[in-house]
C-alpha cells in the first residue's frame, strides 16, 4: 500500500525503535521519567518557552489549552474550519463548557481586522471572550501556512483586548521548514502552542503543550483530569524525542513529494487541482461530479493507493515518512489508470430475451 491517507500512518524507523527499546523510564505523573523530562525540556527550548507537558494526542493538548485559558460560559474565537471545532468531537463544549465563535477565513487564514470585527463591547448579555485559536499549518485549508506577520498582528489585537492566543500546531514543524523560520520565532506570539510528534515527524504517539511554567503547571492538572496522566511514558516519549532530533529537516522531502504529486495530478484527465494551494505536505484534489470521491478512493485502495475522501468530490493525499519519490510516481500512474477506467463508458450489453410466458 502506498498510503497517502494521512501523515499519521507512519511506522517507526529502525533507529527510532532502538531508541524506544533503550529508553530509561520512570513514573511521569510523579515527574520521575527521564525520557519524558528530556523531551519536554528539548521542545520547550526549541520553541523558546519555559516549559512543556507531554500528552497522548494533539486533541488532548488543544483541549487542555482551552481549559487552561477559559472558564465555563466563556467564548473562544476560531476559524470556521479549525480542527479544534471540526474534528475534536465537540470537546470545547463537553470538556470546557465554552462557546465557539467562528471567523470565515480564506483557506483557514484570517486577519487581525477579521478578529477585530468579531469583538464585542463588554456587556453582561454576551459571553466573555477569552481566547483566540489559530492553526498552522491549516488542515482543511489544504496545509496552508499562517504568515508570521499576520499572526503578530492578531497577537497585537489580543494583547489590546486582554485575550490569550493558542496555536494548534499539529503541523507546526512543516510550517517552520517551509518558511525557514525557527520554531522559537513562529511560537513567540502565542501563550500556548500544541505541537505534534506523530504526524510529519513520524513518532508513534504524542503531542506536547508548550507555554510558561505557570500555564504548564495548570495544564498538568487538567491533563490528569482528562485522563492523560501517564506512568512509564518514556517508552513512547523516546520515539518523539528521536523524531524531534532527527526528522524535522526531512520534512522538506515530504513537501517536494507533495509538489511532485500535485504537478502530476494536473495532467490527469478528469482530475482538477489548484497548484497554488499546495504549500506543504497536504494535497487536495477533485474528481468530476460523476465520480464520487468515496467510490474513487475505494477503487484506488483496491489498486494499492490510499487517499482520504473529505467531501463529495474532494480527496486528500498527504505525503509522509513512508512515501518516496518512486511511490509518488507509481501512485500517479494508478490514479490515472483508475480515473480512465472510471470515466470510460461501460459497453452496452444486448437486452436479454425474456419469455412472456
The pLDDT assigned to 347 comes to: 44
Is 346's pLDDT higher than 70? no
15-40 pLDDT, tens per residue?
Answer: 999 999 999 999 999 999 999 999 99
The confidence score (pLDDT) of residue 345 equals 54
Average pLDDT over residues 184-191: 98
Q: Residue 267: CB partners within 8 Å, gap ≥ 6?
A: none
Cα–Cα distance, 58 to 207 (Å, whole number): 5
Closest CA to 183 of 287, 193, 191: 193
What are the Cα distances from residue 296, in Å, to 1, 269, 331, 342? 16, 14, 13, 8
Give the position of cell 497548484.
275
* Mean pLDDT computed over 319-348: 88
Q: Taking a C-beta distance cutoff of 8 angstroms, is the pair 227, 184 a contact?
A: no
pLDDT of residue 344: 62
For residue range 52-61, what is the model confidence (pLDDT) as tens digits?
999 999 999 9
8 φ, ψ to 5°? -90, -5
Which domains are delineated in the chain? 12-246 (3.40.640.10), 251-339 (3.90.1150.10)
pLDDT (tens digit, 9 = 90+) per residue, 70-93? 999 999 999 999 999 999 999 999
Mean confidence (pLDDT) of the chain: 95
Beta bridge pairs of residue 211: 51
Best CA proximity match to 335, nearest among 276, 278, 281, 266: 266
Give the global pTM.
Answer: 0.93
**Scanning the structure block, which residue is given the C-alpha cell 528521536?**
242
Can you tell me which residue has the cell 520565532?
185
Output DSSP code: residue 93.
I
Mean pLDDT of the region 159-175: 98
Q: Is 329 exposed, middle or buried (CB count within 10 Å of its CB: 0-12, 13-18, 19+)?
A: middle
**For 97-110, what is the mean pLDDT?**
97
- For the cut 90, the answer to whether the pLDDT of residue 342 exceeds it is no
DSSP states along 121-149: ---TTSPPEEEEEEESSBTTTTSB---HH
Calculate mean pLDDT across residues 199-223.
97
Residue 357 has pLDDT above 50, yes or no: no
The CA-based dihedral angle spanning residues 298, 301, 307, 309, taken in that order and rounded to the nearest 10 degrees:
10
Tell me: cis bond preceding 137? Omega within 30 of 0 counts.
yes
- Tell me what the mean pLDDT of segment 154-179 comes to: 98
On the question of pLDDT at 355 being above 80, the answer is no
∠ Cα 316 137 224 (to 5°) = 105
pLDDT of residue 122: 87
Q: Which residue has the higher pLDDT, 349 or 51?
A: 51
Distance CA(310)–CA(301), nearest Å, equals 15
Locate the DSSP E strands across the chain.
2-3, 51-55, 75-79, 99-103, 129-135, 164-169, 192-196, 207-211, 282-286, 305-306, 308-311, 314-318
Task: Quote the CA–CA distance of 170 and 136 in Å, as a whole number.
Answer: 7
Q: How far apart are CA 82 and CA 97, in angstroms?
A: 18
Amino acid at each position: 500500500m502506498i498510503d497517502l491517507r494521512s501523515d499519521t500512518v507512519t511506522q517507526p524507523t529502525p533507529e527510532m525503535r532502538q531508541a524506544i527499546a533503550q529508553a530509561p523510564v520512570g513514573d511521569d505523573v510523579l515527574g520521575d521519567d527521564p525520557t519524558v523530562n528530556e523531551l519536554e525540556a528539548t521542545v520547550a527550548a526549541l520553541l523558546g518557552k519555559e516549559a512543556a507537558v507531554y500528552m497522548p494526542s494533539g486533541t488532548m493538548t488543544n483541549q487542555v489549552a482551552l481549559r487552561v485559558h477559559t472558564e465555563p460560559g466563556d467564548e473562544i474565537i476560531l476559524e470556521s474550519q479549525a480542527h479544534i471545532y471540526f474534528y475534536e468531537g465537540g470537546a470545547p463544549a463537553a470538556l470546557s463548557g465554552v462557546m465557539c465563535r467562528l471567523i470565515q477565513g480564506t483557506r483557514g487564514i484570517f486577519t487581525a481586522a477579521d478578529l477585530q470585527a468579531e469583538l464585542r463591547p463588554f456587556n453582561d448579555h454576551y459571553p466573555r471572550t477569552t481566547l483566540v485559536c489559530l492553526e498552522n499549518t491549516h488542515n482543511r485549508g489544504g496545509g496552508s501556512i499562517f504568515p508570521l506577520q499576520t499572526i503578530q498582528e492578531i497577537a497585537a489585537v489580543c494583547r489590546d483586548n486582554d485575550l490569550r492566543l493558542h496555536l494548534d500546531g499539529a503541523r507546526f514543524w512543516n510550517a517552520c521548514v517551509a518558511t525557514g523560520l525557527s520554531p522559537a520565532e513562529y511560537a513567540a506570539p502565542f501563550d500556548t502552542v500544541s505541537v505534534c510528534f506523530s504526524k510529519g515527524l513520524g513518532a508513534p504517539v504524542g503531542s506536547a503543550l508548550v507555554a510558561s511554567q505557570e500555564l504548564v503547571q495548570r495544564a498538568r492538572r487538567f491533563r490528569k483530569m482528562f485522563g492523560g496522566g501517564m506512568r512509564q511514558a518514556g517508552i513512547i516519549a523516546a520515539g518523539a524525542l528521536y523524531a524531534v532530533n532527527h526528522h524535522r529537516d526531512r520534512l522538506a522531502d515530504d513537501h517536494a513529494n507533495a509538489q511532485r504529486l500535485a504537478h502530476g495530478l494536473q495532467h490527469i484527465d478528469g482530475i482538477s487541482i489548484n497548484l497554488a494551494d499546495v504549500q506543504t505536505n497536504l494535497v487536495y484534489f477533485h474528481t468530476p461530479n460523476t465520480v464520487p470521491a468515496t467510490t474513487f478512493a475505494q477503487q484506488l485502495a483496491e489498486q494499492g493507493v490510499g487517499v482520504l475522501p473529505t467531501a463529495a468530490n474532494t480527496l486528500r493525499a498527504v505525503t509522509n515518512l513512508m512515501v518516496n519519490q518512486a511511490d509518488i510516481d507509481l501512485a500517479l500512474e494508478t490514479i490515472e489508470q483508475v480515473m480512465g477506467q472510471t470515466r470510460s463508458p461501460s459497453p452496452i450489453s444486448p437486452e436479454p430475451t425474456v419469455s412472456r410466458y
